[in-house]
Structure formats: C-alpha cells, structure tokens
C-alpha cells in the first residue's frame, strides 16, 4: 500500500486556482480537508478534488472560493 501524499497550502493553491491564503481559510472552514502536522496544514488531495467539484459533504453546492 502506498502512503497518501498530502499537499501544503502553496502546493494546493495552483491546483485550485486560488491563493495560498484562500487554501488556508478552506483548511479552517472545511473539516476533513486538512489536518495539522507539526503545526503546518497538510491537505488531502482527494478531499480537495471533491471540494472543487462541489460534492456534498465538503461544503458542496457553492463556489469554495467564497
């Protein structure tokens, strides 16, 4: 089994097409998107993809950039 590779906010920002600060805000706003590891946000890329697709359970149904 391959370990999951988590993203930092600067890595996730260009994928999402938003700023690093916006990604950090999402980390606080959407439970399950990210976790703190040694004081730094680590984003689950699978959950990020679902959030960007607007899937239910990820804050879905609206533009996550707001």
**pLDDT digit string (tens) for 8-62?**
999 999 999 999 999 999 999 999 999 999 999 999 999 999 999 998 766 554 4
Residue whose pair of structure tokens reads 């990210």 in the numeric block:
34
pLDDT at residue number 64: 54
What are the two backbone dihedrals, phi and then psi, of residue 6, each rounded to the nearest 5 degrees?
-90, 155
What residues does each domain of the chain span?
9-53
| pTM confidence score | 0.79
């Amino acid at each position: 089994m391959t370990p999951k590779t988590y993203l930092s906010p600067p890595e996730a920002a260009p994928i999402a097409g938003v700023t690093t600060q916006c990604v950090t805000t999402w980390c606080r706003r959407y439970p399950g998107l990210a976790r703190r590891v040694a004081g730094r946000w680590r984003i689950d890329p699978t959950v990020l993809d679902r959030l960007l697709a607007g899937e239910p359970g990820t804050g879905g149904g609206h533009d996550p950039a707001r």
